[in-house]
Amino acid sequence: MIASPSNRWAGPAIAGYVYQFDYSIKRILGSSDDDQFVIEGLEDIDITDINNERRAVQVKYHEAARFNGLKSLRDPIKEMFFAYAHGLAESFTLHAHYEASQNLGTSLTTAEVMDCLTERSRGGIRRYWVPLNEEVIQGFADRLEISQGPDRKTQRREVMAMIGSSTDATDDECEHLLYPTALAVIAEIAMTRDVRQRTIGRQEFINKVDRRKQLWSGWHARLQSREQWVRSLKAMLRIRRSLRATLVRGLCLDGASLNDGGLQPLVHELATKQFGPGALVGTKPWTIICSDSAVALVVKRYLVQHGLSFNDGFEWLGFSATLFEIDPVVTVNKPGTKLVHVSHAIRVVTLDSLRNSGHILALDVLVAASGQMSEVAQLVSARDYVGSDSLTLDEINSIIRSSS
Protein backbone atom coordinates (compact mmCIF):
# COMPACT_ATOMS: atom_id res chain seq x y z
CA MET A 1 0.00 0.00 0.00
CA ILE A 2 1.33 3.43 -0.97
CA ALA A 3 1.38 5.91 1.88
CA SER A 4 -0.62 9.10 1.34
CA PRO A 5 1.42 12.27 1.00
CA SER A 6 1.92 14.30 4.16
CA ASN A 7 0.29 17.68 4.62
CA ARG A 8 3.02 20.16 3.66
CA TRP A 9 0.98 23.29 4.35
CA ALA A 10 3.35 25.77 5.99
CA GLY A 11 0.88 28.61 6.58
CA PRO A 12 1.36 28.90 10.38
CA ALA A 13 5.17 28.81 10.07
CA ILE A 14 5.16 31.50 7.38
CA ALA A 15 2.72 33.62 9.42
CA GLY A 16 5.10 33.31 12.36
CA TYR A 17 8.06 34.59 10.36
CA VAL A 18 6.09 37.47 8.87
CA TYR A 19 4.80 38.38 12.34
CA GLN A 20 8.38 38.34 13.64
CA PHE A 21 9.62 40.51 10.77
CA ASP A 22 6.74 42.97 11.23
CA TYR A 23 7.61 43.25 14.91
CA SER A 24 11.27 43.85 14.02
CA ILE A 25 10.26 46.69 11.67
CA LYS A 26 8.08 48.15 14.40
CA ARG A 27 10.86 48.06 17.03
CA ILE A 28 13.44 49.58 14.67
CA LEU A 29 11.21 52.45 13.56
CA GLY A 30 10.14 53.17 17.14
CA SER A 31 13.69 53.29 18.45
CA SER A 32 16.30 55.95 19.14
CA ASP A 33 18.87 56.64 16.42
CA ASP A 34 21.51 55.47 18.92
CA ASP A 35 20.07 51.95 19.19
CA GLN A 36 21.51 49.09 17.13
CA PHE A 37 19.56 45.99 16.13
CA VAL A 38 20.77 42.51 15.22
CA ILE A 39 18.21 40.50 13.24
CA GLU A 40 18.41 36.79 14.15
CA GLY A 41 21.05 37.35 16.80
CA LEU A 42 20.95 35.73 20.22
CA GLU A 43 17.16 35.77 19.81
CA ASP A 44 14.87 36.87 16.97
CA ILE A 45 15.95 40.48 17.42
CA ASP A 46 18.62 41.89 19.75
CA ILE A 47 18.64 45.56 20.75
CA THR A 48 21.75 47.33 22.04
CA ASP A 49 21.25 50.81 23.44
CA ILE A 50 23.62 53.76 23.78
CA ASN A 51 24.86 52.34 27.12
CA ASN A 52 25.81 49.09 25.35
CA GLU A 53 23.14 47.14 27.24
CA ARG A 54 21.65 44.31 25.24
CA ARG A 55 17.99 43.23 25.23
CA ALA A 56 17.21 39.94 23.47
CA VAL A 57 13.66 39.64 22.14
CA GLN A 58 11.94 36.40 21.16
CA VAL A 59 8.74 36.61 19.11
CA LYS A 60 6.06 33.89 19.14
CA TYR A 61 2.86 33.84 17.10
CA HIS A 62 0.25 31.15 17.84
CA GLU A 63 -2.87 32.28 16.03
CA ALA A 64 -4.68 28.95 16.49
CA ALA A 65 -3.23 27.86 19.86
CA ARG A 66 -4.72 28.63 23.24
CA PHE A 67 -2.53 29.84 26.08
CA ASN A 68 -2.26 26.97 28.54
CA GLY A 69 -0.49 28.50 31.50
CA LEU A 70 3.23 28.61 32.19
CA LYS A 71 4.00 25.42 30.28
CA SER A 72 3.04 27.24 27.06
CA LEU A 73 5.98 29.57 27.70
CA ARG A 74 8.48 26.91 28.76
CA ASP A 75 10.48 26.56 25.54
CA PRO A 76 11.13 30.29 24.88
CA ILE A 77 11.66 31.04 28.60
CA LYS A 78 14.12 28.15 28.85
CA GLU A 79 16.23 29.47 25.96
CA MET A 80 16.31 32.99 27.41
CA PHE A 81 17.07 31.72 30.92
CA PHE A 82 20.10 29.76 29.71
CA ALA A 83 21.31 32.82 27.77
CA TYR A 84 20.98 34.96 30.91
CA ALA A 85 22.81 32.36 33.02
CA HIS A 86 25.73 32.52 30.57
CA GLY A 87 25.78 36.33 30.63
CA LEU A 88 24.88 36.73 26.96
CA ALA A 89 22.39 39.60 27.46
CA GLU A 90 21.30 42.00 30.22
CA SER A 91 17.54 41.77 29.68
CA PHE A 92 14.94 39.78 27.75
CA THR A 93 11.53 40.23 26.17
CA LEU A 94 9.04 37.57 25.13
CA HIS A 95 6.59 39.08 22.62
CA ALA A 96 3.82 36.54 22.07
CA HIS A 97 0.33 36.25 20.63
CA TYR A 98 -2.08 33.41 21.37
CA GLU A 99 -5.61 32.70 20.22
CA ALA A 100 -8.39 34.90 21.62
CA SER A 101 -5.89 37.39 23.13
CA GLN A 102 -5.59 35.59 26.45
CA ASN A 103 -3.84 37.62 29.13
CA LEU A 104 -0.20 36.56 29.49
CA GLY A 105 0.72 39.12 32.14
CA THR A 106 3.79 41.32 31.86
CA SER A 107 6.31 39.54 34.10
CA LEU A 108 7.01 36.38 36.13
CA THR A 109 7.92 36.01 39.77
CA THR A 110 10.86 33.87 40.87
CA ALA A 111 8.44 31.08 41.82
CA GLU A 112 6.72 31.29 38.43
CA VAL A 113 10.05 31.08 36.60
CA MET A 114 10.94 27.97 38.63
CA ASP A 115 7.52 26.47 37.92
CA CYS A 116 7.79 27.34 34.21
CA LEU A 117 11.21 25.65 34.04
CA THR A 118 9.96 22.50 35.77
CA GLU A 119 8.75 19.80 33.38
CA ARG A 120 6.64 16.93 34.71
CA SER A 121 6.20 13.74 32.71
CA ARG A 122 5.75 10.02 33.23
CA GLY A 123 9.50 9.74 33.34
CA GLY A 124 9.68 12.04 36.35
CA ILE A 125 10.33 15.71 37.06
CA ARG A 126 12.98 17.75 35.30
CA ARG A 127 14.03 21.10 36.78
CA TYR A 128 15.90 23.08 34.13
CA TRP A 129 17.04 25.69 36.64
CA VAL A 130 19.06 23.20 38.69
CA PRO A 131 21.89 23.61 39.83
CA LEU A 132 21.57 27.41 39.67
CA ASN A 133 20.58 29.14 42.89
CA GLU A 134 17.52 31.25 43.58
CA GLU A 135 19.51 34.49 43.28
CA VAL A 136 20.21 33.77 39.59
CA ILE A 137 16.56 32.90 38.99
CA GLN A 138 15.48 36.11 40.73
CA GLY A 139 17.88 38.11 38.57
CA PHE A 140 16.39 36.60 35.42
CA ALA A 141 12.82 37.24 36.60
CA ASP A 142 13.70 40.89 37.28
CA ARG A 143 15.06 41.28 33.74
CA LEU A 144 12.30 39.44 31.90
CA GLU A 145 9.51 41.39 30.20
CA ILE A 146 6.47 39.73 28.67
CA SER A 147 4.77 41.65 25.90
CA GLN A 148 1.35 40.54 24.69
CA GLY A 149 1.26 41.01 20.95
CA PRO A 150 -1.78 41.95 18.88
CA ASP A 151 -3.07 39.73 16.09
CA ARG A 152 -1.22 39.72 12.79
CA LYS A 153 -3.51 42.16 10.96
CA THR A 154 -3.51 44.67 13.81
CA GLN A 155 0.27 44.60 14.06
CA ARG A 156 0.48 45.06 10.27
CA ARG A 157 -1.65 48.22 10.53
CA GLU A 158 0.61 49.51 13.31
CA VAL A 159 3.69 48.88 11.16
CA MET A 160 2.12 50.69 8.20
CA ALA A 161 1.36 53.70 10.39
CA MET A 162 4.92 53.80 11.73
CA ILE A 163 6.39 53.58 8.22
CA GLY A 164 4.17 56.46 7.15
CA SER A 165 5.13 58.67 10.09
CA SER A 166 8.84 57.85 9.72
CA THR A 167 8.99 58.65 5.99
CA ASP A 168 6.12 61.12 5.49
CA ALA A 169 4.63 58.68 2.97
CA THR A 170 1.01 58.33 1.90
CA ASP A 171 -1.06 55.26 2.76
CA ASP A 172 -0.78 54.03 -0.84
CA GLU A 173 3.00 54.46 -0.84
CA CYS A 174 3.26 52.54 2.43
CA GLU A 175 1.04 49.68 1.30
CA HIS A 176 2.34 49.20 -2.24
CA LEU A 177 5.98 50.30 -2.02
CA LEU A 178 7.51 50.94 1.41
CA TYR A 179 6.02 48.08 3.45
CA PRO A 180 6.91 45.35 0.92
CA THR A 181 10.41 46.83 0.69
CA ALA A 182 10.75 46.92 4.51
CA LEU A 183 9.72 43.27 4.74
CA ALA A 184 12.22 42.30 2.03
CA VAL A 185 15.02 44.28 3.73
CA ILE A 186 14.43 42.51 7.07
CA ALA A 187 14.25 39.09 5.40
CA GLU A 188 17.47 39.73 3.46
CA ILE A 189 19.29 40.85 6.61
CA ALA A 190 18.03 37.80 8.52
CA MET A 191 19.48 35.46 5.87
CA THR A 192 22.95 37.06 5.93
CA ARG A 193 25.60 34.85 7.50
CA ASP A 194 27.92 37.60 8.82
CA VAL A 195 26.50 39.06 12.05
CA ARG A 196 28.00 42.45 11.18
CA GLN A 197 25.77 42.55 8.12
CA ARG A 198 22.76 41.60 10.28
CA THR A 199 23.22 44.75 12.38
CA ILE A 200 21.29 47.90 11.52
CA GLY A 201 20.13 51.20 13.01
CA ARG A 202 16.93 53.17 12.52
CA GLN A 203 18.17 55.73 10.00
CA GLU A 204 20.07 53.15 7.95
CA PHE A 205 16.93 51.00 7.82
CA ILE A 206 14.80 53.94 6.66
CA ASN A 207 17.36 54.73 3.95
CA LYS A 208 17.13 51.17 2.63
CA VAL A 209 13.35 51.18 2.69
CA ASP A 210 12.47 54.60 1.30
CA ARG A 211 13.52 54.45 -2.35
CA ARG A 212 10.88 56.83 -3.68
CA LYS A 213 13.49 59.34 -4.83
CA GLN A 214 15.34 56.75 -6.88
CA LEU A 215 12.12 55.57 -8.48
CA TRP A 216 10.94 59.13 -9.08
CA SER A 217 14.15 59.91 -10.92
CA GLY A 218 13.81 56.84 -13.12
CA TRP A 219 10.12 57.41 -13.89
CA HIS A 220 10.74 61.10 -14.52
CA ALA A 221 13.51 60.28 -16.98
CA ARG A 222 11.14 58.11 -19.00
CA LEU A 223 8.34 60.68 -19.11
CA GLN A 224 10.37 63.66 -20.29
CA SER A 225 12.95 64.42 -22.93
CA ARG A 226 16.51 63.99 -21.70
CA GLU A 227 17.26 67.71 -21.73
CA GLN A 228 14.03 68.51 -19.85
CA TRP A 229 14.68 65.78 -17.35
CA VAL A 230 18.27 66.86 -16.54
CA ARG A 231 17.08 70.47 -16.25
CA SER A 232 14.25 69.42 -13.90
CA LEU A 233 16.67 67.34 -11.82
CA LYS A 234 19.05 70.29 -11.45
CA ALA A 235 16.20 72.58 -10.39
CA MET A 236 14.92 70.10 -7.84
CA LEU A 237 18.39 69.61 -6.33
CA ARG A 238 18.98 73.36 -6.11
CA ILE A 239 15.67 73.86 -4.32
CA ARG A 240 16.34 71.01 -1.92
CA ARG A 241 20.03 71.98 -1.61
CA SER A 242 20.80 68.28 -1.75
CA LEU A 243 24.41 68.73 -2.91
CA ARG A 244 25.46 71.75 -0.88
CA ALA A 245 29.14 71.86 0.00
CA THR A 246 28.72 71.39 3.76
CA LEU A 247 27.25 67.89 3.29
CA VAL A 248 29.19 64.62 3.21
CA ARG A 249 28.72 63.71 -0.46
CA GLY A 250 29.56 60.47 -2.23
CA LEU A 251 29.72 59.32 -5.86
CA CYS A 252 29.56 55.67 -6.87
CA LEU A 253 31.44 54.62 -10.02
CA ASP A 254 31.24 51.20 -11.67
CA GLY A 255 33.15 49.50 -14.48
CA ALA A 256 31.06 51.23 -17.15
CA SER A 257 32.63 54.54 -16.13
CA LEU A 258 36.00 53.39 -17.51
CA ASN A 259 34.57 53.72 -21.02
CA ASP A 260 32.90 57.05 -20.33
CA GLY A 261 34.90 60.03 -21.57
CA GLY A 262 33.51 62.10 -18.73
CA LEU A 263 35.38 60.22 -15.98
CA GLN A 264 38.55 62.35 -15.80
CA PRO A 265 36.75 65.74 -15.98
CA LEU A 266 34.39 64.57 -13.23
CA VAL A 267 37.21 63.40 -10.93
CA HIS A 268 39.05 66.69 -11.58
CA GLU A 269 35.92 68.70 -10.72
CA LEU A 270 35.40 66.85 -7.43
CA ALA A 271 39.06 67.07 -6.33
CA THR A 272 39.68 70.73 -7.27
CA LYS A 273 36.56 72.86 -7.73
CA GLN A 274 34.36 71.12 -5.15
CA PHE A 275 36.96 71.03 -2.35
CA GLY A 276 40.46 72.41 -1.81
CA PRO A 277 42.23 75.78 -1.86
CA GLY A 278 39.72 78.57 -2.45
CA ALA A 279 36.72 76.64 -1.12
CA LEU A 280 34.76 78.15 1.75
CA VAL A 281 35.49 77.01 5.29
CA GLY A 282 33.04 74.25 6.22
CA THR A 283 33.17 72.63 2.79
CA LYS A 284 33.61 68.85 2.93
CA PRO A 285 35.50 66.64 0.45
CA TRP A 286 33.71 64.25 -1.87
CA THR A 287 34.02 60.48 -1.52
CA ILE A 288 34.30 58.29 -4.61
CA ILE A 289 33.05 54.73 -4.03
CA CYS A 290 34.47 52.39 -6.69
CA SER A 291 32.78 49.13 -7.63
CA ASP A 292 36.13 47.37 -7.92
CA SER A 293 39.90 47.88 -7.75
CA ALA A 294 40.20 48.49 -11.53
CA VAL A 295 38.00 51.59 -11.28
CA ALA A 296 39.83 52.74 -8.14
CA LEU A 297 43.21 52.34 -9.88
CA VAL A 298 42.17 54.61 -12.75
CA VAL A 299 40.82 57.24 -10.37
CA LYS A 300 43.88 57.18 -8.09
CA ARG A 301 46.32 57.20 -11.02
CA TYR A 302 44.64 60.34 -12.39
CA LEU A 303 44.83 62.03 -8.97
CA VAL A 304 48.54 61.17 -8.56
CA GLN A 305 49.40 62.35 -12.06
CA HIS A 306 47.80 65.71 -11.34
CA GLY A 307 49.32 66.14 -7.88
CA LEU A 308 45.99 65.79 -6.06
CA SER A 309 46.17 64.17 -2.63
CA PHE A 310 43.58 61.62 -1.56
CA ASN A 311 42.64 59.49 1.44
CA ASP A 312 41.91 55.83 0.71
CA GLY A 313 42.42 54.45 4.23
CA PHE A 314 45.63 52.79 2.99
CA GLU A 315 43.71 50.26 0.89
CA TRP A 316 46.95 48.88 -0.50
CA LEU A 317 47.95 47.83 3.06
CA GLY A 318 44.58 46.38 4.00
CA PHE A 319 42.32 49.44 4.59
CA SER A 320 41.83 51.23 7.91
CA ALA A 321 38.31 52.58 8.39
CA THR A 322 39.59 54.71 11.28
CA LEU A 323 42.16 56.48 9.09
CA PHE A 324 39.67 56.75 6.23
CA GLU A 325 37.24 58.66 8.45
CA ILE A 326 39.81 61.23 9.62
CA ASP A 327 38.85 64.72 8.46
CA PRO A 328 41.38 66.51 6.24
CA VAL A 329 43.78 68.87 7.99
CA VAL A 330 43.19 72.37 6.61
CA THR A 331 44.70 75.85 6.86
CA VAL A 332 42.60 78.94 6.21
CA ASN A 333 43.20 82.52 5.08
CA LYS A 334 43.51 85.41 7.54
CA PRO A 335 39.83 86.37 7.43
CA GLY A 336 39.11 82.69 8.20
CA THR A 337 36.64 82.33 5.36
CA LYS A 338 38.46 80.23 2.74
CA LEU A 339 40.72 77.17 2.64
CA VAL A 340 44.35 77.71 1.69
CA HIS A 341 45.69 74.15 2.03
CA VAL A 342 44.13 70.71 2.60
CA SER A 343 45.82 67.43 3.53
CA HIS A 344 43.64 65.53 1.07
CA ALA A 345 41.32 66.73 -1.67
CA ILE A 346 39.06 63.70 -1.95
CA ARG A 347 38.42 60.22 -0.52
CA VAL A 348 38.50 57.04 -2.63
CA VAL A 349 37.34 53.60 -1.49
CA THR A 350 36.27 50.32 -3.08
CA LEU A 351 33.19 48.32 -2.16
CA ASP A 352 35.49 45.40 -1.33
CA SER A 353 37.28 47.47 1.34
CA LEU A 354 33.96 48.39 2.94
CA ARG A 355 32.67 44.84 2.69
CA ASN A 356 35.77 43.17 4.10
CA SER A 357 36.15 45.66 6.96
CA GLY A 358 32.47 45.63 7.90
CA HIS A 359 32.55 49.42 7.84
CA ILE A 360 29.29 51.17 6.94
CA LEU A 361 30.12 54.41 5.14
CA ALA A 362 27.91 57.25 6.40
CA LEU A 363 27.04 59.95 3.86
CA ASP A 364 24.53 62.76 3.68
CA VAL A 365 23.91 62.19 -0.03
CA LEU A 366 24.92 59.53 -2.54
CA VAL A 367 25.09 60.08 -6.30
CA ALA A 368 24.82 56.75 -8.14
CA ALA A 369 23.15 54.85 -10.94
CA SER A 370 20.04 53.10 -9.63
CA GLY A 371 21.32 49.78 -10.96
CA GLN A 372 24.18 49.99 -8.45
CA MET A 373 22.02 50.61 -5.41
CA SER A 374 21.15 47.03 -4.40
CA GLU A 375 24.76 46.27 -3.41
CA VAL A 376 25.82 49.79 -2.45
CA ALA A 377 22.89 50.10 -0.02
CA GLN A 378 24.35 47.22 2.03
CA LEU A 379 27.61 49.12 2.61
CA VAL A 380 26.71 52.82 2.44
CA SER A 381 24.21 54.65 4.62
CA ALA A 382 22.99 57.84 2.92
CA ARG A 383 20.23 60.22 3.96
CA ASP A 384 19.50 61.24 0.37
CA TYR A 385 19.97 59.82 -3.12
CA VAL A 386 20.55 61.40 -6.52
CA GLY A 387 20.73 59.50 -9.78
CA SER A 388 19.31 57.26 -12.44
CA ASP A 389 20.69 54.36 -14.44
CA SER A 390 20.69 56.52 -17.58
CA LEU A 391 22.87 59.41 -16.35
CA THR A 392 26.20 59.90 -18.11
CA LEU A 393 29.23 61.14 -16.17
CA ASP A 394 29.13 64.44 -18.08
CA GLU A 395 25.52 64.89 -16.95
CA ILE A 396 26.45 64.04 -13.35
CA ASN A 397 29.29 66.57 -13.55
CA SER A 398 26.90 69.22 -14.86
CA ILE A 399 24.35 68.45 -12.15
CA ILE A 400 27.00 68.64 -9.40
CA ARG A 401 28.40 71.95 -10.68
CA SER A 402 24.98 73.57 -10.87
CA SER A 403 23.68 72.20 -7.56
CA SER A 404 26.66 72.57 -5.16
Where residue 49 falls (left for φ over 0; alpha for ψ -120 to 50; beta otherwise) is beta
Cβ atoms within 10 Å of 96's Cβ, excluding its own: 20
How many CB atoms are located within 10 Å of the residue 233 CB?
Answer: 24
Query: 309, 277 in Cβ contact below 8 A?
Result: no
% of the chain with per-residue pLDDT over 90: 45
Specify whether 49 is located in the same domain as 138.
yes
Q: Tell me if 161 sits within 8 A of 30, measured CB to CB.
A: no
Domain ranges, residue 299: 211-403
- Please tell me the predicted confidence (pLDDT) of residue 9: 54
Q: What is the pLDDT of residues 229-262, one digit of tens each?
A: 677 778 777 877 888 999 999 999 988 888 878 8
**In whole angstroms, how large is the CA radius of gyration of the chain?**
26
Q: Does residue 1 fall inside a structural domain?
A: no
Three-state DSSP state, 60: strand
Q: How many angstroms from the chain centroid is the CA of residue 215?
A: 19
- Indicate whether 178 and 234 sit together in one domain: no
25, 57, 156, 311, 368 from 209: Cα distances, Å: 10, 23, 16, 30, 17
Q: Which of 205, 222, 242 is where one domain is finished?
A: 205
Q: Which of 176, 205, 234 is the last residue of a domain?
A: 205
| 176 and 238 co-located in one domain | no
The pLDDT assigned to 40 comes to: 92
DSSP string, 108-143: --HHHHHHHTEEEETTEEEETTTTS-HHHHHHHHHT
The domain spanning residue 234 has which CATH number? 3.40.50
Classify residue 270: in a domain, yes or no: yes
Q: Do the domain assignments include residue 6?
A: no
Does residue 45 lie within any of the structural domains? yes
C-alpha dihedral, 273 to 277 to 282 to 288, nearest 10°: 50
Residues 270 and 287 in one domain: yes
Summarize pLDDT for 65-101 with one digit per residue, the tens: 677 778 888 888 999 999 999 888 889 999 988 876 5
Q: What is the pTM of this model?
A: 0.60
Residues 199 and 273 in one domain: no
Q: How many domains does the chain have?
A: 2
Q: By C-alpha distance, which of 80, 132, 127 is closest to 108?
A: 80
In degrees, rounded to 5, the angle at the alpha carbon of residue 160 between the alpha carbons of residues 157 and 212 is 160
Same domain, 304 and 274: yes
The pLDDT tens digits for 154-186 are 999 999 999 999 998 889 889 888 999 899 999
pLDDT at 145: 93
Q: Are residues 236 and 288 in the same domain?
A: yes
Judgement on whether residues 69 and 218 belong to the same structural domain of the protein: no
Whether residue 289 is found in the same domain as residue 391: yes
Q: Are residues 53 and 194 in the same domain?
A: yes
